[in-house]
Structure 1
Amino acid sequence: MYRIKRLVENFDLKLLYSGPSFAVLFYVILFFCSGCDFSGSNNKISEGIESVIFNLDPATIKTPEDNRIVSLIYEPLVGLSDDYKTFEPGLAEKWSVSSDQRSYFFSLKPGIFFQDNSPVNTEALVFAFQRQMRLNLDSPLFSMIDSIHIIDSLTMRFTLKYPYTPFLYTLTSPVGLKGVSKKAILKYGDKLAEHPVGSGPYMFKKLDDNSELVLTKFELYPNHLPNIDQISFKVYSDYSEISNYFKESKIDLLYLIPGFYIDRLKWLGVVDYQVLPATSTVMIGFNSQSPPFHLPEVRRAVLLAINREKLVYNFLRGNSIPAKGPLPPVLFNYREITQPGYNPEKAAELLAKAGYPHGFRASFYYLDRYRARNTIFEAIKNDLEKAGIKLNLIPFYSWEELEAACRSDTSQVYWTAWGTDVLGDPENFLYSLFHSSSPHNLLHFRNNAVDRLLEEARREPDRQLREELYRQIVELVLRDVPAVFMYHVIPVYAYNRNKIEKLPLDPYGHVQYQNIVLR
């Protein structure tokens, strides 16, 4: 689940001699010295991010910001291609699956090293994978795995509890299994988050008081060295600082810009934008077991009483699109399916039918972080008051507090969101939110038909048949209205076009710093 939370050091290595002999020696050292800082290069990038406490252990990360940084340090077994359908080699160069769809075999690339110079082999990876699974027992990404076996130093086998068709997709996830140095895990233990060691293109260099995180390129990274030598993630306290940071070249890149700030940055004359597909859904969730929201008519009345499109276009300034249903468009083609639009007259009818002709009072929980969102909450409150539903807005100041409140049996209505952990297949998104056994089902939603279809879809190998099952699931969810699906956030990167010529992104929207082209 997306809990949206949000470092630049300059060294000058002056080459005092540039003769041929030194040049040969320099390139020999460049190849063999892992982590050396040849910072006479100008190939450095600074990204601005919101205030955050960094956690660089893939087994315990909680925020999308940490996901993006961790993806630079660690690598998965397989990657996802830009078409969201096919897979690319990661740490594994090839893989196969048994006829019963329960055993997956992976052959590792030979000659790969971690950033502490220990070898990437099955012993290290199985140790890291088992640790990550052990620390995430409730994760739907790992629940289907029964065991992992070492066949030889470069071959491993995953045995699943049941056939699970999207398994390879889960391995590509930013929060999926990552290769971590066994040597580092044994050395640092619970402090691994402060001493991350993977095999990715960048390695941890320093963290200054949670205000600046610096990564440098890993000199032994295979195929080719990263184009960018050093990345700094620089924390800012509020958006008023960003314009000056861009003007003064303190940052070159910014992610997840609020709609109200996009136009302001345009006036600088040095900023371009790159828009990503929406991969999350923001919603008003109901506790479907708590009166009066245990009644489908009441939930549908709330849906019809809110002018969603007006709210999205008036308050979010173009960086969000109204939702047709639970899944973002990158995961599902709605075609003829959509949740009903604004209809206050029908809302009043449904409330009367449910036994609430004069409305009722309810508590609305939300995370108090963004002023623009608080304005939306007031607008939602006003819409519902017209239908006789009076909301008591109750703020929470951390995601952990809000989540605990939503899990309570006495909760009623709340503002929440889900960002997909897995692209290419909607099973993870749907199962996490709507299966009755899912630990992430904050909606308290129970529907036996949805449970059955979800379990069938995860086992169905035929993609077309699986898509039809997903369509039936979405139709049932929209019929039962466990939430009002408000909008999908369109992630936007702003970057300094005078410095960056090309900003390559992976399918999950993470900047591939190793492939950035500078002007």
Structure 2
Amino acid sequence: MKKLISLTIASLMLLLSACGNNASSGEQPAAEGPKDLVVALGSEPISLDPQDASDGISLHATELIYDKLVTFDKDMKIVPELAKEWSMSEDGKSWTFTLQEGAKFQDGEPVNAEAVKASFDRILDKNNKLKRRSLFADFIESVSVESEYKVSFQLKFQYAPLLATLAHPNGGIHSPKNTAEKGKSVGKSPVGSGPYQFKEWISGEKLVLEANPNYWGEKPKVKSITFKPVVENAARSLMLETGEADVILPIPATDIERLKSNDQVKVELYPSNRNLYMGMNTQKAPFDNVKVRQALNYAVDKETIVNKIMMGNAKPAEAAISGLTWGYSPVGTYPYDPEKAKQLLAEAGVKPGTTIKLWTPEGRYLMDRQLSEFVQANLQAVGFNVEFRKWEWGAYQEAIDDPNSGYDLFLLSWAVPTNDADWGLRPNFSTEGSNNRTLFSNAELDALIDQGMKTTNEEERKQIYAKALQIIKDEAPWIFLVEMKQPIGVRKNVEGVYGSNTERLILRDADKK
């Protein structure tokens, strides 16, 4: 009997041992590795070429694909990225950057001074017609290679916000090999040196970035990041609640409190330097008359927008740039005064019933369609007949980039990724500004913007921008609406995701448990 029991035990141990060996050979599931992170946004990117992208959605993705010379940390301080150190000449017109050694692009090419020069030469070349040329070309004279890992920038003048501008997502460094091979299609086939690399893009469905296994810096914590365009507010919220999405942006104001009560979800409202505005085509009647532009500002009830539509997740804009942006000066809001609006319209000779066109995207900004419908009602209350049109984001971007497309009023916003007033004002309000979709032109303002760009004394710069902001308020090429907050929804098992003051969705440190 003892021998029988011993044999039985021995047989069981052999059987268990065999099962263990089978598990280790793959018959049982292995320990789970890094996961996929799904991010649902209100629209999809326009381009993955950071030097040719002017929309924030595109930059959420390009920040993962490309590295820059320098970047902002979580506290908005300039910190090294591809450049480990830098120095400025005595006259302030030459800057030299020493690069990290050993960094490589996702195609295996080295990140060196030649690559940095090639990337900036590409954007400085006006024949390439890149959307973000003016961000750099207005102050960079040339870029030169000093050694394999040293590159110098020669400036046209001392430019105070140089480092902040190089930290802009549009400063991402391309692989020269890839840009040479892909040409104009590089926005669909990007290669940078960042922690995530391009895998696939099915327009209207998803953009997939996968972890770069050879990243020179801190290794990515998730296997891939999938961006999905989800226009419907309710659908984005539902995806977060069910776990179909790990991160959503924006959260509709009506869902914020409900989502906060879900123990599987985290909701954070991040401060943002983005201003939401309604631009006017100042070259078309009746918007070529400053009284009409001021009238529209008096006609819109900003407090109700903040309290009822945004449900407190914004505040009335007191200038053309946010209070978080360096160089901000509160020049004040136009109070809600529909009678004043009617008076100014009468003085300008605008007849009741005049038809104007108001265009809006849907899903790109917090409560964008609802806000635009409210503005439509406000303007109809002072006598306009307002034709309302809702657009898909990509088509909308193309339409408002063309001054002949027929817009009168258009809802848009502006964040300042450099966090400096120069890039808050120069692209939008200078006569030749790259984003001057209102076609506004004012010689005095042009001179102030130019002066602010070339002045290095901080107090003098602040005074210059205070004067500029007052002119912009008085001339009113925008209906100044609200300073926005950035509501981001994240599943509880996701860490390392946050919103920056410059309204970037930061995903580099994302981790999914």
Compute the TM-score of the two structures, normalised by the length of structure 1: 0.82
Structure 1 residue 129, shift from structure 2 partner: 2.4
Deviation string 1:43-90 (CA, Å, 9 cap, x unpaired) is 442222345366433333353222111111110111124444x42111
Partner residue, 1:471 = 466
Structure 1 residue 511, shift from structure 2 partner: 4.5
1:145 is the counterpart of 2:137: no
Tell me if structure 1 keeps the 8 A contact 2:45–2:58.
Answer: no
Q: Which of 183, 186, 192 is the matching residue for 2:186?
A: 192
Structure 2 CA distance for partners of 1:367 and 1:218, relative to 1, 3 Å: same
Partner residue, 1:269 = 263
Matched letter for residue 40 of structure 2: G
1:232 is the counterpart of 2:226: yes
Q: 1:83-98 maps to which residues of 2 (within 5 A)?
A: 83-84=75-76, 86-98=77-89
1:302 is the counterpart of 2:296: yes
Partner residue, 2:166 = 171
Matched letter for residue 126 of structure 1: K
Tell me if structure 1 keeps the 8 A contact 2:315–2:482.
Answer: yes
Structure 1 residue 40, shift from structure 2 partner: 4.0
Q: Which of 200, 203, 207 is the matching residue for 2:197?
A: 203
Structure 1 residue 250, shift from structure 2 partner: 2.6
Tell me if structure 2 keeps the 8 A contact 1:304–1:342.
Answer: yes
Tell me if structure 1 keeps the 8 A contact 2:429–2:440.
Answer: yes
Structure 2 CA distance for partners of 1:108 and 1:40, relative to 1, 3 Å: same
Q: 1:31-430 maps to which residues of 2 (within 5 A)?
A: 40-50=32-42, 52=44, 55-84=47-76, 86-134=77-125, 135-137=128-130, 139=132, 140-143=134-137, 144-175=139-170, 177-207=171-201, 211-236=205-230, 238-331=232-325, 337-356=331-350, 359=352, 361-367=354-360, 369=362, 373-393=368-388, 398-400=395-397, 402-404=399-401, 407-408=403-404, 413-430=408-425
Give the percent of matched residue pairs that are identical in Structure 1 and Structure 2.
Answer: 25
Structure with the higher fraction of residues in helix conformation: 2
Matched letter for residue 79 of structure 2: E
> Partners in 1 of 2:45 and 2:426 — Cα distance?
30
Partner residue, 1:28 = none
Query: How many aligned positions are there?
Result: 481
Deviation string 1:113-144 (CA, Å, 9 cap, x unpaired) is 22222211111222222224433455321222
Structure 2 CA distance for partners of 1:368 and 1:331, relative to 1, 3 Å: closer
> Partners in 2 of 1:188 and 1:381 — Cα distance?
44
Deviation string 1:458-517 (CA, Å, 9 cap, x unpaired) is 0111112211111111111112222210123322110111x1244345554444444335
Structure 1 residue 230, shift from structure 2 partner: 2.9
Partner residue, 1:8 = none
Give secondary structure in 1 for the equivalent of 2:340.
helix
Structure 2 CA distance for partners of 1:54 and 1:436, relative to 1, 3 Å: closer
> Partners in 2 of 1:260 and 1:121 — Cα distance?
49
> Partners in 2 of 1:132 and 1:15 — Cα distance?
55
Give the root-mean-square deviation of aligned CA atoms.
Answer: 3.1
Structure 2 CA distance for partners of 1:427 and 1:15, relative to 1, 3 Å: farther
Give secondary structure in 1 for the equivalent of 2:64.
helix
Tell me if structure 2 keeps the 8 A contact 1:396–1:402.
Answer: no
Partner residue, 2:7 = none
> Partners in 2 of 1:473 and 1:235 — Cα distance?
37
Structure 2 CA distance for partners of 1:347 and 1:235, relative to 1, 3 Å: closer
Matched letter for residue 515 of structure 1: D
> Partners in 1 of 2:64 and 2:23 — Cα distance?
29
Give secondary structure in 2 for the equivalent of 1:142.
helix
Structure 1 residue 414, shift from structure 2 partner: 0.4
Deviation string 1:94-125 (CA, Å, 9 cap, x unpaired) is 11222333222111111212222221111122
Matched letter for residue 257 of structure 1: I
Give secondary structure in 1 for the equivalent of 2:454.
coil
Deviation string 1:20-44 (CA, Å, 9 cap, x unpaired) is xxxxxxxxxxxxxxxxxx9941444
Tell me if structure 2 keeps the 8 A contact 1:258–1:319.
Answer: no
Matched letter for residue 108 of structure 1: L
Structure 1 residue 300, shift from structure 2 partner: 1.7
Deviation string 1:367-398 (CA, Å, 9 cap, x unpaired) is 35359544444433433344334434455552
The answer for unaligned runs of 5 or more in structure 2 is 1-21
460-469 vs 188-197, which moves further? 188-197
Tell me if structure 2 keeps the 8 A contact 1:203–1:217.
Answer: yes
1:488 is the counterpart of 2:479: no
Structure 2 CA distance for partners of 1:335 and 1:180, relative to 1, 3 Å: closer
> Partners in 1 of 2:47 and 2:405 — Cα distance?
31
Structure 2 CA distance for partners of 1:333 and 1:343, relative to 1, 3 Å: farther
Matched letter for residue 466 of structure 2: R
Give secondary structure in 1 for the equivalent of 2:115.
helix
> Partners in 1 of 2:33 and 2:48 — Cα distance?
26
Structure 2 CA distance for partners of 1:42 and 1:401, relative to 1, 3 Å: closer
> Partners in 2 of 1:82 and 1:150 — Cα distance?
31
Give secondary structure in 1 for the equivalent of 2:306.
helix
Tell me if structure 2 keeps the 8 A contact 1:228–1:513.
Answer: no
Give secondary structure in 2 for the equivalent of 1:59.
helix
Structure 1 residue 240, shift from structure 2 partner: 4.2
